[in-house]
A and B are shown apart, each in its own frame.
Chain A
């Protein structure tokens, strides 16, 4: 719930409502990853993400 409150606050403050469907789709796909392993640290030459 806290997450949805935060994300709504962000979208309204930045007026970036068009990101909402993209985030929803990504979260649905993300649910598929729940059981996969991995860490928050991205394997990348420059930590842009």
Chain B
């Protein structure tokens, strides 16, 4: 009989549902894509309904349902933390306790109430409800779908129940946690504190801080001073990567802020940056210093994971594993032989890990390793897909005009021509991606050779900060022509340098130049995806996992000689990545995108009727 396991993450941030059937991922999706609320934390009713429908199952058909952490253990941490810091933290205590005594302590009941809405069968016919630990869920999400039969596992995030970092060993169908680092000592919360201090939103602005770091002056005295201050005053880092935060400088345990602003100001000599205010060089240097510090910490932790387990293949998950700059450095360091990272490394991925943990650790299911070094993620294309009927419905609803191509090669040739002509294309195909990155099924694409593309995409399409970099999607077989990358990067989780031969020289006064003058200087023959320090966050595109995107890149190569495009997620600032053709069309019509492709249908902006607002068309998204 088929053994199916439903994993759920919810009530913190990025709620999600995933379904594993006989050891294979059937579907996984984040609730935000359906609800259209970025980082939606509510119970993932729509995502759960979708994954069950994809498998053709009802709740009573499942062997178990697994929630991605242990609420009581988290409550223990809260009470002990408040007790340890009392009487400080009274305000925070008074804010948090009502949430717990009213709802979260009764998580089992709360989950059952929500699941009732999904189930046809009465509760007595439902399967067991399990609560694997938060970091065990992360570890399971990193190890079980990886291509390795044995691997060291490193999970690093803000905090789960108590653990903020764990080292585990994975072998066969078992995962054993061997070391952990406990709250409040957390590299994730350290990075979030800097995110907060540099004026970005905690839990969503960490990417921005990472993207800002290369603007810092690595040869300048200020970066070195900030780096020294981090390790002299804020963090006591040990050789094995374990660390102690100096809580005199942090406020997240008992306060409602990440850090103590006055103390940081006297330490670093700059005030906390107000949100959306000007980014001065001091904050760029601060971003670079904390990036360098995190890289040092992650490298030491990875070294410990190798030493403790005796395994030189490493898998990672947890929010910090989304720091693709650190991942790239780790790979180049030689500390590990091979590195694999769960594409949904953040808390959404906990849903998948919980389902896997239930299957292998609780039900003791055997684990099969995919053949030929492939992982089990199916390219991370695990979300809903739509067909020509959905496109026809869309066209009827909006009186939209499209051209239908029977021959996909003819479509890719047309789209390649549009891209080479400088047009920006919304590319919507097949199943939606799992994880925070658009990997060529819900993507906005542009020609990376064009000097103005980065600015245009940021300001006219995405409506986001002009300094933010874009990533290249490159044919896997051509990646060596462009980048110094030691292994494939199908999930856009590794940063590597642009090859020396493609770089263009910089003026002598480059480090002193104004931020945007530096940004718009041509640094390579693919300027739109070459970040300020010649780095790029790479997606290698493989014919085996995404033949349609691969075909488009091949067509573009035939047209231009470059098997590479700018690939950014199909959304505007603050909006979740589009899920349905309607979401895509709405985004297409409300931005300056030129062309939209949904399946085999091609929409030209200048052939569409005037855009008229309906209830949802006017939906605005809060800036992230």
Contacts and interface: CB of A to CB of B under 8 A. Distances in A.
Contact of B110 (A22, A40, A49): A40
B55 interface: no
A29 B192 CA distance: 33
Instruction: Give the contact-size bracket for chain A.
Output: 20 to 34
Given A6-B72, A26-B97, A41-B42, A48 B102 contact: no
Interface in B502-543: none
Given A26-B97, A26-B100, A39-B103, A45 B76 contact: no
A11 to B, nearest CB: 9
Contact of B95 (A26, A29, A44): A44
Contact of A3 (B99, B109, B253): B109
Contacts of A27: 101, 105
A49 B258 CA distance: 14
Interface in A6-24: 6-7, 10, 14, 16, 19, 22-23
B72 to A, nearest CB: 4
A33 B258 CA distance: 28
A49 B257 contact: no
A46 B252 contact: yes
Contacts, number: 92
Nearest to A10: B72
Nearest to A3: B106
B194 to A, nearest CB: 13
A45 B258 contact: yes
B256 A45 contact: yes
B42 to A, nearest CB: 7
Q: Which of A29, A43, A44, A48 has the most CB of B within 10 A?
A: A48
B189 A47 contact: no
Nearest to A31: B101
A43 B100 CA distance: 13
B378 interface: no
Nearest to B188: A46
Contacts of A38: 98-99, 102-103
Main secondary structure of the interface of A (DSSP, over half): loop
Main secondary structure of the interface of B (DSSP, over half): helix
Contacts of A45: 196, 202, 256-258
Instruction: Give the contact-size bracket for chain B.
Output: 35 or more
Contacts of B159: 48
B617 interface: no
A39 B40 CA distance: 13
Contacts of B11: 40-41
B98 A40 contact: no
Contacts of A29: 97, 101
B78 A3 contact: no
A14 B79 CA distance: 14
B619 interface: no
B394 interface: no
B117 to A, nearest CB: 15
Contacts of B103: 38-40
A7 B159 CA distance: 22
Given A19-B76, A19-B79, A44-B256, A49 B100 contact: yes
Given A14-B76, A19-B76, A46 B202 contact: yes
A24 B192 CA distance: 34
Contacts of B105: 3, 7, 23, 27, 30
Nearest to B107: A40
Contacts of B109: 2-3
Given A2-B109, A3-B105, A3-B108, A49 B72 contact: no
B318 interface: no
Contacts of B192: 46
Contacts of A3: 105-106, 108-109
A33 B98 contact: yes
Contact of A22 (B79, B104, B196, B258): B79
Nearest to B43: A40
Contacts of B253: 48
B376 interface: no
Contacts of A2: 108-109
Given A46-B202, A47-B203, A40 B99 contact: yes
B487 interface: no
A30 B98 contact: yes
Interface string B33-54: 0000000011000000000000
A41 B41 contact: yes
Given A38-B103, A47-B203, 17 more contacts: A3-B108, A10-B73, A23-B105, A26-B97, A26-B101, A27-B101, A30-B98, A30-B100, A30-B102, A36-B98, A40-B103, A44-B256, A45-B196, A45-B202, A45-B257, A46-B252, A48-B159
By Cβ-Cβ distance, the 8 closest A-B pairs, closest first, are A30-B101, A40-B103, A49-B96, A10-B72, A47-B12, A41-B41, A42-B99, A26-B101
